[in-house]
Amino acid sequence: MSSGSDLKLLTLLYNRTAKILVRPIVTTTTLAAGVLNKGAPWLVAAHEIVPQSSAICLIHLLLVAVLLIITATFYLALRPKTVYLLDYACFQPSSNLRITKATALEHQRLSPLLFDSTISFIATILERSGKSDETCVPHAHHYIEPHCGLDEGRAEAELVVFSVMDDLFAKTCINHGTIGALITNCSTFSPVPSMADMIVNRYKLRGDLRVINLSGMACSASVTAVGLASNMLQVMPWGSHVLVVSTETIGPFYYAGNKRSMQLVNVLFRTGGAAKLLSTSRSKARFRLGHFTRTVTAANNDAYRCVYQEEDEKGNIGVALSKDLMDVARNALKANIMKTGPLVLSTSELLKFLFFNVARKVLRLRNIRPYIPNFSVAFEHFCIHVGGPAVITSVQRGLNLSDKHVEPSKMTLHRFGNQSTSSVWYELSYIEAKCLMKKGNRVWMIGFGAGYECNTVGWLCIEPSSCVGGPWASCIHRYPVDISKSG
């Protein structure tokens, strides 16, 4: 290493040391001097009043004061910063992107690439999908033989991303220069330049912006991005802002083959996106971040391959969903709950859970059913990823939730379909549009994704929305609906 590089390294180390150690020491010394200056008359008076045999030495009191100030300084410097959600915005598709189930099925019937058995399978899944006739797909999917090249994919991404960012900036009225980091997530569409660079170019964000692009994580990436943003804010100056943009550009990964496990993605996924602004400043904040728990089960081969992008026997690329998906998701959620429970559950619920586990495993009382903790005590609202009716029902039974708790998930699936990573934010928007969110309410977001992952995040409402807006503004009066009849 050259002497110039050594000098630069020493300079960098000095600057970091000065920032980490010198500044707190100087601050502590200054505070100690101030305390001593203010308390000197009192100390002298105390020294005169207290008998000499039990007199407290002035230097001892000074050392105690300095020690307390140093302890408080290091506590404040090392404790985790509180993270807030200033606001969020969801994409509202225009009516010209709407595709009815009948139209989607008709397009499949007119396709020369699909077998009759494949079309019958698609018809069955559409009928059981829990979706209405108001869900939307990109322009490329409206053709009988959908084709989405790079330009079409980029246009779809720009439509969704720029729309939600415009809405978010209008809500928060934030100066673009205060954004210190940008996180984007889109699983299958990774253009060059990246989606983050596309945003920087459009909104002329600052040159020293920290940029992260997440891909391949599928539906759990939005929740993952929140945890990543929280970690970044811990090492950024107080009051910094992190912008998180989540979407799934579904045009480029349309599957044109006959493999049923890969056709599911075409049937279930729809257009959507969301943008969120997080900060360590409470000013104008609407939610406070409680906990973030991430569970990755990719070490297990079955879990790793249950959501897998591959080619079929004819070379058509698609994402295959394994028949083991529900079991994998259930095990991932169980593992996540074991980590999350101690953070959010009351002592009584934890003791009940411990008692039943001891009775079953230690005392071997197999006739006792496993105890399911009451998570509705810890959270008033639940935003469960809308992977499909079976996913929502499985989580509902696994957590012993009421129909009211899963209403936001089912209604989001009905109105917008599976929007992948952004669906939990449409559910939060539904809760607010129905005026169900109150100050002090707690929200639990549960995301599932490829890998296989189960990621959860908790929020505490600080300021409920004052008006009905967002994607539900024009239709909230019609909800909830009976999806057993309309879905």
- How many residues in the chain? 487
Count the alpha carbons within 13 Å of 384 in the hemisphere toward its beta carbon.
Answer: 30
Bridge partners of 476, per DSSP, are none
Query: What are the percentages of helix, strand and coil residues in the chain, rounded to 5?
Result: 50, 15, 30
Burial group, residue 144, by CB count within 10 angstroms (0-12, 13-18, 19+): exposed
| Rounded Cα distance, 435 and 88, in Å | 16
Rg (C-alpha) for the chain, rounded Å, is: 27
State in Å, rounded, how far the first CA of the chain is from the last one. Answer: 67
Residues 50 and 191 in one domain: no
Residues 262 and 160 in one domain: yes
Q: What would the two tokens of residue 365 be?
A: 């009382």
Residues 49 and 69 in one domain: yes
Say what the alpha-carbon torsion angle 254, 258, 263, 266 is, to the nearest 10 degrees: 30
Q: What would the two tokens of residue 388 be?
A: 């499909």
The answer for residues whose C-beta is within 8 angstroms of residue 201's C-beta and 6 or more apart is 193
| Ramachandran assignment for 241, one of left (phi > 0), alpha (psi -120 to 50 degrees), beta (any other) | beta
pLDDT attached to residue 63: 75
The answer for residues whose C-beta is within 8 angstroms of residue 444's C-beta and 6 or more apart is 344, 375, 378, 379, 381, 382, 383, 456, 457, 458
Residues 337 and 235 in one domain: yes
Residues 278 and 363 in one domain: yes
CATH of residue 443's domain is: 3.40.47.10
Burial 160-185 (b: 16+ CB within 10 A, else e): bbbbbbebbbebbebeeeebbbbbbb
Alpha helix stretches (DSSP H) within 18-100: 23-49, 58-78
SS3 82: coil
DSSP letter assigned to residue 452: T
Which residue ranges of the chain lie beneath pLDDT 70?
A: 1-58, 60, 73-79, 360-368, 370, 484-487
DSSP letter assigned to residue 67: H
pTM above 0.75, yes or no: yes
| Rounded Cα distance, 45 and 311, in Å | 86
Residues 22 and 110 in one domain: no
Q: What would the two tokens of residue 284 be?
A: 């104008």
Q: Are 376 and 402 in contact (CB under 8 A)?
A: yes
Return the ∠ at Cα 457 (arms to 455 and 461), rounded to 5°.
160
Count of structural domains, the chain: 2
Count the alpha carbons within 13 Å of 299 in the hemisphere toward its beta carbon.
Answer: 3
pLDDT attached to residue 470: 86
Q: What's the sign of the alpha-carbon dihedral 475, 479, 484, 485?
A: negative
Residues 165 and 129 in one domain: yes
| Rounded Cα distance, 231 and 191, in Å | 26
Bridge partners of 279, per DSSP, are 84, 241
The answer for residues whose C-beta is within 8 angstroms of residue 323's C-beta and 6 or more apart is 261
Bridge partners of 90, per DSSP, are 274
Owning domain of residue 390: 84-486
- Last residue within a domain, chosen from 47, 78, 109: 78
Q: Tell me, letter by letter, the H, E, C secondary structure of 171-213.
A: HHCCCHHHEEEEEEECCCCCCCCCHHHHHHHHHCCCCCCEEEE
Residues 47 and 117 in one domain: no
| Rounded Cα distance, 438 and 462, in Å | 8
Residues 37 and 133 in one domain: no
- Last residue within a domain, chosen from 78, 110, 128: 78
| Rounded Cα distance, 448 and 384, in Å | 9
Q: Which of 315, 307, 304 is nearest to 255 (CA)?
A: 315
**Checking DSSP bridges between strand 179-185 and strand 210-214, what pairing results, if any?**
parallel
The answer for residues whose C-beta is within 8 angstroms of residue 424's C-beta and 6 or more apart is 222, 223, 383, 384, 385, 445, 446, 447
Return the residue matching tokens 């929200």: 443
**Checking DSSP bridges between strand 210-214 and strand 241-247, what pairing results, if any?**
unpaired
Residues 166 and 42 in one domain: no
Q: Are 227 and 83 in contact (CB under 8 A)?
A: no
Residues 53 and 198 in one domain: no
For residue 84, the surrounding DSSP H or E stretch is strand 84-90
- Last residue within a domain, chosen from 59, 78, 97: 78
Residues 66 and 91 in one domain: no
Q: E-assigned strands of 273-432? A: 273-279, 287-296, 307-311, 317-321, 381-384
